[in-house]
Structure 1
Amino acid sequence: MTTQPRSFPTLQAGAILAALGIGLGAFGAHALKTQLDAALLADYETGVRYQMYAALALIALGSTQRPQRAGLWLTLGAVIFSGSLYVLALTGVTILGAITPVGGVLLIAGFMIVALDARRT
């Protein structure tokens, strides 16, 4: 009996990121609005926005019947990019700003992989 390698759960990752993004966005809009200064709140909102971009892309990719190579890249990019911005905004630890571009590069790479895969089909 041969087993198929498990593929990255793109649709599930997108749905989880979207649900978390909505929750985190609501938390930022209500609970953090009066707790953070404008610059940190803007950083937090940027994290939510980019998380949702990645989530929607993952949902779209996961809804196709084609195998996807970009899911892991987009998920890791969203977690690192948005996660570092969340921690930065909530703690004020600015060294985490050095991690944020790594997540951005992973997001860019993920979208480039989507473009390459689309070209092949």
Structure 2
Amino acid sequence: MKELVLVIGGVYGTLAVVFGAFGAHALKKRFTEEQLKSFETGVKYQMYHAIILVISGIVFPFIGITQQLIAYFFIIGIFLFSFSIYGLCLSASAGKKIKVLGPITPLGGLLLILGWILFTVEISRIAAYL
């Protein structure tokens, strides 16, 4: 699990840089200002969570269920949150907004919040033993 978390963190980080550059250059003329801001939000959150995945992969052995849930919440949460934003922005700019993606974004956000809560609890528990 540890290796998977590190790899996914690295892939998400790489994709955040690629999508950020894509948004800043290729999509700047195609998107409205609001779409560009939304797309950038997706990229930022993806990068933040790529970093916490890498940190989690370094810090946690992923032996207990809590540590595994942290990884799953972050991995699935960022996919649902950021990638639904990308899909909404791209489809809206093409004039064919995929509305079913709208409710997926907050679900991803909820998973990210749960991941942070569990991360905070788990890192506090570990710090108490140091």
TM-score, normalization by structure 2: 0.83
Structure 2 Cα separation of the partners of residues 94 and 119 of structure 1: 41
Structure 2 Cα separation of the partners of residues 87 and 33 of structure 1: 16
Q: SS of 2:27's equivalent? A: coil
Aligned to 2:49: 54
* 1:21 and 2:26 correspond: no
Aligned to 1:106: 111
Q: Deviations over 1:65-95 (max 9, x none)?
A: 5323211110111000000000000001262
Structure 1 Cα separation of the partners of residues 78 and 60 of structure 2: 23
- 1:97 corresponds to which letter in structure 2? G
Structure 2 Cα separation of the partners of residues 28 and 120 of structure 1: 40
Q: In percent, how many aligned pairs have the same letter?
A: 38
Q: Give the gaps of 5 or more residues in structure 1.
A: 1-6
Structure 2 Cα separation of the partners of residues 60 and 11 of structure 1: 8
What count of residue pairs does the alignment treat as equivalent? 115
Q: SS of 1:35's equivalent? A: coil
Structure 2 Cα separation of the partners of residues 65 and 38 of structure 1: 40
Q: Deviations over 1:25-73 (max 9, x none)?
A: 0000000001111111111111000000110100111112532321111
Whose helix fraction is larger, Structure 1's or Structure 2's?
2
Aligned to 1:41: 36
Q: SS of 1:34's equivalent? A: coil
Aligned to 2:71: 71
Q: Give the gaps of 5 or more residues in structure 2.
A: none
TM-score, normalization by structure 1: 0.89
Moved over 6 A (4+): none
